Chains A and B, each alone.
Chain A
Amino acid sequence: MSVMLETKNLGISFGGLKAVDGLSLSIEKGQLYGLIGPNGAGKTTAFNLLTGVYKPTMGNFFLDGEKLTGMSTIEINKKGVARTFQNIRLFKQMSVLDNVKVGLHNNFEYTAAEGIFRLPRHAKVEKQMNEKAIELLDVFGLAGEKDRLSSNLPYGKQRKLEIARALATSPKLLLLDEPAAGMNPQETQELMDTIRFVRDHFDMTILLIEHDMKLVAGICEEVTVLNFGTVLAQGETSSVLQNPEVVKAYLGD
């Protein structure tokens, strides 16, 4: 198995505060990997480093062997990293279909002029984009709601749409930031099935942040536990979750 994502001693400090300090992990291709830890442990900051929102002040990270450190968000996305956000960030005034088509933007090509003057390539490419977008929406059971305004979707479906949009950029690595936040147990169960399906169907490597331990234990093969920006424990999920240090970090002294 080849390594999809590798971070080496990755870190960032804001002023004097080390939000992430020396994060090293290695995720194999096709793996479902969890990043867990108490609130404020630096998990989302780690995601922001991996997507170029912040530039790391120390360390490096590699996608499929290629060094991505220092690249912009857009470049990193083009290299194959896509993400969702903890507080959903959909394009609220756009339809469900258009949200996914924005995700497809860089995978299909016609110029602004071709669009404005409705040249032949416009119709052809738009048709392909529609087909591809509906195919993606179908995976998440959203195809029937393609014309709805994305902000009018119920919460659970908004989360799914965000995943569909991220997948539309055809990434190698998918970062999910608390995908189950705000879901009830049944929705969470469905989400677990969906995530597994995405991994198998798209041959995807997935790194996710989650507080719901049932979800983490249920689908993640390996986890890294962050606490105050540093790695507290790392390894196979079941054994890490039983680690007394980890239990202590979660439950307090």
Chain B
Amino acid sequence: MKTLNTMNKTSKNNFITYGIVLAIFIFCAVYIETDMATFLFKGLMVPICVNVILAVSLNLTVGILGELSLGHAGFMCVGAFAGSFFSMMTQETLTSVWIRFPLAFIIGGLSAAFIGLLVGIPVLRLRGDYLAIVTLAFCEIIKNIMNNLYIAKDINGLHFAIGVGAYNEIEFDAASKQVLINGAMGITGTPNDSNYFWGFALIFITLIVILNLVNSRTGRAIMSIRDNRIAAESVGINITKHKLIAFVISAFFAGVAGVLYSHNLSSVIATKFDYNYSILVLVFVVLGGIGSMRGSVIAAIILTALPEFLRDIGNLSDYRMLIYAILLIAMMLINNNDYLHQMTQGVLGKFRLGKKSKKNEQEGVS
């Protein structure tokens, strides 16, 4: 207790977040290892972890940097394909999953971070709506290219092609031909390395990295840009550099989530990573509370698990997205309307997951 008292409020808050995740992990571990868990429950573990990592990493861009990225699924896509590709290439040589899988995460994350850097350098000069639409455009480009990417290997080495026409023109050595990435059919045969253990380990790493970043010199600089760009510049904060740091780290973890995702399925196709997936992650972030990592974790868990468990009750899942949409709008209206906010404050106050997003006055100076 003494250590808790000497810690400041933010570290205390962070440890509560870690504690919650740890508690959930222990519960799941016990539940699964004692064979009490249903097939559905076990199957949900990895998708939940994927979504938690996505939500926390998107919250870095939306809540901490204060910019809306609609391309999160695109970075996830890059990570998923890069990680899967690596695992398939090294499956025979690197037989130990303890080496291969972490390497796949690093490669998937770095690939996504690299694309994030390429995207970020030009687009982070833009603000607000433009940034949102350009990240969306990039996500579509990535999806479009991945959907037409063919990689196959034969005795002569690797062959790349974009578009089925170009692919068909390649002359393969038929006997040794092995298709790795098959255009719209995606990538098939990734080793199923993902499980809840890896998933929770990655959630912890994501949370530690992002929470530590936020509570550091760099994190303060990033938040100062969010709160007031002009004032941040006036005290010498390098806007572009800090925006890029946040954006690239966010992309990195989206890539990591992609690797976790792709190693949980027998085949992965590019069209899964569409704009709707990006929006779904945004829903987690907004409903959990913009800027609140703990909120993102809880919202991602609940909103991923709940619809699956409610599947038996009527055709509720049909209405799931509709309900999300309504919640999204309602949340924004309530948070930004003083009267509604006060009305709901009393009811929701005790259960609030995150901080409310403050209005940011943008007046000019004459």
Contact flag (A, B; Cβ within 8 A): yes
Residues of A within 8 A of B (CB): 39-40, 44, 51, 53, 73-74, 77-78, 82-83, 85-87, 89-94, 98, 101-103, 105-106, 108, 110-112, 114-118, 122, 125-126, 129, 147, 151, 165-166, 168-169, 177
Among B215, B232, B355, contact of A102 (Cβ-Cβ < 8 Å): B232
> Given known contacts A108-B217, A129-B217, is B366 in contact with A39 (CB within 8 Å)?
yes
List 15 extra interface pairs beyond A85-B231, A116-B213, CB under 8 A: A39-B366, A77-B236, A86-B366, A91-B228, A91-B231, A92-B227, A92-B360, A93-B226, A93-B355, A102-B235, A106-B235, A112-B213, A115-B215, A151-B358, A165-B235
The answer to whether B365 touches A85, judged by C-beta atoms less than 8 angstroms apart, is: yes
Do B230 and A40 touch (CB < 8 A)? no
Does B216 lie within 8 Å of A115, measured CB to CB? yes
Q: List residues of chain A with CB within 8 A of the CB of B344.
A: none
Are A86 and B365 neighbours in the complex by a CB distance under 8 Å?
yes
Contacts A85-B231, A105-B235, A112-B213 given; does A44 touch B365 at CB 8 Å: yes
**Residue B237, interface by CB 8 Å:** yes
Complex Cα–Cα for A115 and B219 (A): 9
Q: Taking the nearest CB of chain B, how far is it from the CB of A49, in angstroms?
A: 13
Contact A77 B234 (CB under 8 A): yes
Asked if B58 CB lies within 8 Å of chain A CBs, one says no
Within 8 A of A (CB), among B194-250: 209, 212-213, 215-221, 223-224, 226-228, 230-238, 245
Interchain CB contact under 8 A, A91 and B365: no
* Distance between B53 CB and nearest chain A CB, rounded to angstroms: 16
Q: How large is the interface on B (under 10, 10 to 19, 20 to 34, 35 or more residues)?
A: 35 or more
Measuring CB to CB, which residues of chain B are less than 8 angstroms from any residue of chain A? 8-9, 209, 212-213, 215-221, 223-224, 226-228, 230-238, 245, 291, 355, 358, 360-361, 363-366
Flag if A101 contacts B220 (CB, 8 Å): yes
Give the distance in Å from the alpha carbon of A232 to the alpha carbon of B216 in the complex: 48
**CB-defined contacts of B228 to chain A, threshold 8 Å:** 89-92
Q: State whether A91 and B233 are in contact (beta carbons under 8 Å apart), knowing that A39-B366, A112-B216 are contacts in the complex.
A: no
CB distance from B251 to the nearest CB of A (A): 15
Contacts of B355 in A (CB 8 A): 93
Pick the contact of B9: A40, A147, A165 (CB < 8 A). A147
Task: Tell which of A78, A98, A108, A177 has the most Cβ of chain B within 10 Å.
Answer: A98
Chain B nearest CB from A245 CB (Å) reads 23
Residues in B with CB closer than 8 Å to A177 are 365
Chain A to chain B: the 4 pairs with minimum beta-carbon distance, closest first: A115-B216, A91-B227, A77-B236, A89-B231
A-B contact pairs, 15 of them (CB 8 A): A39-B366, A82-B235, A83-B234, A85-B231, A87-B365, A91-B227, A92-B227, A94-B223, A94-B224, A102-B235, A106-B235, A112-B213, A115-B212, A116-B212, A116-B213
A77 touches B235 (CB 8 A): yes
Expressed in whole angstroms, the Cα–Cα distance for A248 and B218 within the complex equals 51
The docked-state distance in angstroms from the alpha carbon of A94 to that of B8 is: 15
CA separation between A5 and B231, bound complex, in Å?
A: 22
Question: Which residue on B lies nearest to A51, using beta carbons?
Answer: B234
Assess the B230–A74 pair: CB atoms within 8 A: no
Q: How far is the CA of A122 from the CA of B218 in the complex (A)?
A: 11
| Cα distance A122–B213 in the bound complex, in angstroms | 11
- A73, A112, A114 pick with most chain B CB within 10 angstroms: A112
A102, B213: Cβ atoms closer than 8 Å? no
A166 touches B363 (CB 8 A): no
B233 touches A105 (CB 8 A): no
CB distance from B218 to the nearest CB of A (A): 4
Cross-chain contact B212 with A91 (CB below 8 angstroms): no
Q: Which chain A residue has the least Cβ–Cβ distance from B63? A: A93
- Kindly report which residue of chain A lies nearest to residue B213, judged by CB atoms: A116
Closest CB in chain A relative to B360 CB, distance in Å: 7
State A16–B267 Cα separation when bound (angstroms): 64
Give the docked Cα–Cα distance between A78 and B226 (Å).
Answer: 21
* Best-surrounded residue of B232, B235, B291 (most CB of chain A within 10 A): B235
In the complex, what residue of chain B is closest to A114 when comparing beta carbons?
A: B216
The residue that A53 contacts in the complex, of B212, B215, B230, B237, with Cβ under 8 A, is B230
Most-contacted residue by chain A among B224, B236, B366 (CB, 10 A):
B236
A18 to B279, CA, bound (A): 48
Report chain B residues within 8 Å CB of A85: 230-231, 234, 365
Q: Which B residues lie within 8 Å of A86 (CB)?
A: 365-366
Contact across chains for B366 and A44 when beta carbons are under 8 A apart: yes
Instruction: Select which of B9, B231, B238 is within 8 A of A90 by beta carbon.
Output: B231
Q: Which residue of B lies closest to A74 (CB)?
A: B236
- Which A residues touch B245, using CB under 8 A? 112
Q: Which residues of B contact A126 (CB under 8 A)?
A: 216-217
